[in-house]
Chain A
């Protein structure tokens, strides 16, 4: 699940497994929306309420709220306890290393998206991160690149589409996948296609690794947001609306960060 609060936790990198689940969910959600499309609540008449309604960009709110409730109930009895046990059993440094590995393994997806967004310097950063962390960082377990001046940056196909000027479309809450939108949902599908791990030929030991890595990545990602999500559900009067607002703001800021990165393609020392 993505970071959904203002608690400054980085969004969990979408792993292939999660992404695959997301794709399935998206298709089912898409079908659901087509069926329930006629059920979208009519916009309010009061001008101020209408402005609020437009800002929320959530015409499928009643369906989304149902998905949210289902997801939170399932999470409460499945992923959350597992993540809590994981935090209890595994020391912080080890969890941090595994988190770095998940992030490094996702670096090719970031790279392709940076290329797609036409941001060559960012693509270079992602490429260097991948090379350095895979070798010096022992398969990504240590984020060496960060100390060498190449900190991680986010990118995914939803953001690439945003930099192309594709509007987000209505907000969606995908079951067990968390907050999204039509554009970001389609982005998940593209990211699955961009991840080299989905092209590992079957029968290899790598495939086993792929599964272990994806499941671990999912638990690790959930563990990162344990406190933030618990606190949000305790503090917010309407957690659904809070998550929606935080998600939309965060995606906007991420897309702006990519747009505003005007660094030259070559590093300063090259000139």
Chain B
């Protein structure tokens, strides 16, 4: 028994030793890929924001861009947390549709009205299995914002799965918001859907 265990350890070590040098260049390649992905995404986003279009037009142009670069379904599932598992497939589908709209509204609210937005990519660091790309976003007459974009490649291609500003993760904050709301409504997912429905409708009316 002892020998088997020892052999297993040795084999594990050998496997690790082989994998380690291979993993390092992969990490570097991941970092470079994540960096160019965020640079490209940011450039397109800023081009839309800085254009002379109306806010509605901007929003229409931003939506497909987000769908291509942001893993909105993954973020949506994360934000619903433990309630995702207890939701019916209909509730899940309804929730994701609403969540897409909420996400787009929230992004356009933050940057839509500005002209002259610039951004620079300042560095990349590993964040768990993902890559964190540091950017500095400059908006006119606003303090510059240090923002981290968490890029994941688990879906096969790079996608943004979180945005972290001043140490605050957008998806974690959102998850706690939803969790607290649902908990205070006796665990009712329909109450959450109703509230999101209301929020999206109210936003459209503004």
The interface of chain A, by Cβ under 8 A from chain B, is: 3, 5-10, 48-49, 52, 55-56, 92, 224, 231, 235-238, 240-242, 244-246, 249-250, 252-254, 256-257
Contacts and interface: CB of A to CB of B under 8 A. Distances in A.
B127 to A, nearest CB: 13
Contacts of A252: 167
Contact of B176 (A8, A241, A256, A257): A241
B167 A254 contact: yes
A8 B106 CA distance: 15
A235 B143 contact: no
A231 B169 CA distance: 17
Interface string B149-190: 000000000000001111111101110111111011000000
Interface string B183-199: 11000000010011001
A3 B181 CA distance: 22
A187 B173 CA distance: 25
B173 A242 contact: yes
B82 interface: yes
For chain A, what secondary structure do more than half of its interface residues adopt (helix, strand, loop), or is it mixed? helix
A7 B168 CA distance: 9
Interface residues of B, number: 35
Which of A5, A224, A235 has the largest number of chain B CB atoms within 10 A? A235
24 contacts: A6-B166, A6-B169, A8-B147, A52-B82, A52-B183, A235-B102, A235-B105, A235-B106, A236-B177, A237-B195, A240-B180, A242-B174, A242-B176, A245-B172, A245-B177, A249-B167, A249-B168, A249-B169, A249-B172, A250-B166, A250-B167, A252-B167, A253-B168, A254-B167
A52 B106 CA distance: 25
Given A52-B183, A249-B172, A6 B177 contact: no
8 shortest interchain CB distances as A-B pairs: A253-B167, A241-B180, A8-B145, A245-B176, A8-B165, A6-B168, A237-B181, A92-B141
A266 to B, nearest CB: 24
Given A49-B183, A231-B109, A238-B181, A6 B163 contact: yes
Contacts of A10: 143, 166
A91 B181 CA distance: 39
Which of A3, A237, A249, A252 has the largest number of chain B CB atoms within 10 A? A237
For chain B, what secondary structure do more than half of its interface residues adopt (helix, strand, loop), or is it mixed? helix
Which of A224, A241, A252 has the largest number of chain B CB atoms within 10 A? A241
A250 B169 CA distance: 9
Contact of B110 (A7, A56, A238): A7
A253 B166 contact: yes
A93 B165 CA distance: 24
A220 to B, nearest CB: 12
Nearest to B187: A49
A238 B199 CA distance: 12
Contacts of B179: 52, 241
B101 interface: no
A240 B168 CA distance: 15
Contacts of A9: 143, 145, 166
